Amino acid sequence: MNILVTGGAGYVGSHVVEELLKTGDHRVVILDNLQKGHRESLLGGEFIEGDLADTSLLYRIFAQHDIEAVVHMAADSLVGESVQHPDKYFHNNVTNGLNLLNAMVRHSARYIVFSSTAAVYGEPIATPITEEHPQAPTNPYGESKLFFERIMARYDHAYGLRHISLRYFNAAGASPSGKIGEDHRPETHLIPIILEVALGQREHVTICGTDYDTPDGTCVRDYIHVADLAAAHLLALEALAEGAASSVYNLGNGEGFSVREVIDMVEKVVGKPIAREEGERRPGDPAVLVASSQRIIQELGWRPKYHDLETIVETAWFWHKEHPQGFGS
Ligand SMILES: NC(=O)c1ccc[n+]([C@@H]2O[C@H](COP(=O)([O-])OP(=O)(O)OC[C@H]3O[C@@H](n4cnc5c(N)ncnc54)[C@H](O)[C@@H]3O)[C@@H](O)[C@H]2O)c1
């Protein structure tokens, strides 16, 4: 299949590209504006540096590469920034996404797999969270992703554009190949922040809130290995190609770890103490976010291979040790 991967030079995107190329069955075209992504993270495929806002570029890509399917990961995804600048989030995650859908319709591309998020659920009223859980995002980022899911449903109804939304929980870890890993700038994700402390690049990790209603008072999250996440995109594309109806799936491990447990695990893996400081809660952070991924397990046969936290941290540490300055190392 000829597949366009938007945001393919980003963290999850580069791992999806690696997974698609491993099959040897697909021609992969990557579109990324490199505002957050890294050219060095691409292990193959045809890279086009450009922006989803550029509609004529999009139309050219679809026409020249005969694109049949899209994996749409390009987005802005910082929750705090989205509260300060909702315009940026609705513009990039919704308006620019519409450019993509319109190009798909114009060029008869048939399937799209979309990076959605646990943030569409907002404050959970039941755990583990299933896909039927009410969707009530508490910030513009989650709202922009939910809008896009709904727009795709309308495009399916009107134009037959079939789609699978994958609602990721916390993506973590690095490719077991050791070639690519996580390099967000600024880094806001817990595991790479703790690893920066281990590498002497930060003095300490701040625990944001110690008075939550959880066993040790810190937030509990569901970490999913980025390679397992990438494998799910392939399954989703295959299902759509075989005629599956549009759907939405959670992607998590179904097991939660507190911030303290994650720091303890990093200490175990790197073999040295991690300095920690206790800080205030971040506004809008739910106490517990844990997924039920039963639907994708049952319907698409997804089987996570790297589900234990120790393996997730080990793969991340291996990459960070080898690339202390990220992709510029
Ligand atoms: N990392 C996570 O834990 C997580 C969790 C839930 C959902 N997601 C979603 O998964 C996707 C990938 O996340 P990530 O962590 O890899 O983020 P990332 O920032 O590393 O990757 C996003 C990529 O999209 C590119 N991009 C953004 N806007 C663009 C545009 N208008 N045109 C072209 N390229 C553009 C960026 O340069 C970047 O390379 C995002 O949609 C994000 O919202 C991520």
The 3-state DSSP class for residue 232 equals helix
| Cis amide leading into 283 (omega within 30) | no
In this structure, are 28 and 42 located in the same domain?
yes
**What pLDDT, on the 0 to 100 scale, is given for residue 329?**
76
Q: Using alpha carbons only, what angle is made at residue 36 by residues 32 and 37, rounded to the nearest 5 degrees?
A: 50
Could you tell which of 16, 33, 249 is best to mutate to test the pocket of ligand 1, judged by most ligand atoms within 8 Å of the CB? 33
For the chain, how many structural domains are there in total? 2
Catalytic residue numbers read: 141
In this structure, are 122 and 214 located in the same domain?
no
What is the percent of the chain where pLDDT is above 90? 97
What is the 213 CA–ligand 1 centroid distance (Å)? Answer: 31
The whole-number average pLDDT for the span 183-211 is 96
What is the 6 CA–ligand 1 centroid distance (Å)? Answer: 9
**What pLDDT, on the 0 to 100 scale, is given for residue 15?**
98
Q: Which of 4-8, 57-61, 80-84 has the least mean pLDDT?
A: 80-84
In this structure, are 138 and 273 located in the same domain?
no
The pLDDT of residue 1 is above 90:
yes
What is the 116 CA–ligand 1 centroid distance (Å)? Answer: 10
The whole-number average pLDDT for the span 155-168 is 98
Q: Could you list the residue range(s) of the whole structural domain that residue 270 is in?
A: 190-221+254-328
Take residue 253 and report the two structure tokens written for it.
């491990």
Residue 165 Cβ inside 6 Å of ligand 1? The answer reads no
In this structure, are 27 and 101 located in the same domain?
yes
- Please give the backbone phi and psi of residue 184, each rounded to the nearest 5 degrees, phi first: -90, 140
In a domain, 311, yes or no: yes
**What pLDDT, on the 0 to 100 scale, is given for residue 285?**
86
Residue 171 Cβ inside 6 Å of ligand 1? The answer reads yes
Residue 36 Cβ inside 6 Å of ligand 1? The answer reads yes
In this structure, are 209 and 265 located in the same domain?
yes
Q: What is the mean pLDDT of the chain?
A: 97
In this structure, are 247 and 295 located in the same domain?
no
The pLDDT of residue 282 is above 90:
no
214-227 per-position pLDDT tens digit: 999 999 999 999 99
Is the model's pTM score more than 0.95?
Answer: yes
Query: Atom 26, ligand 1: which residue's CA is nearest?
Result: 74
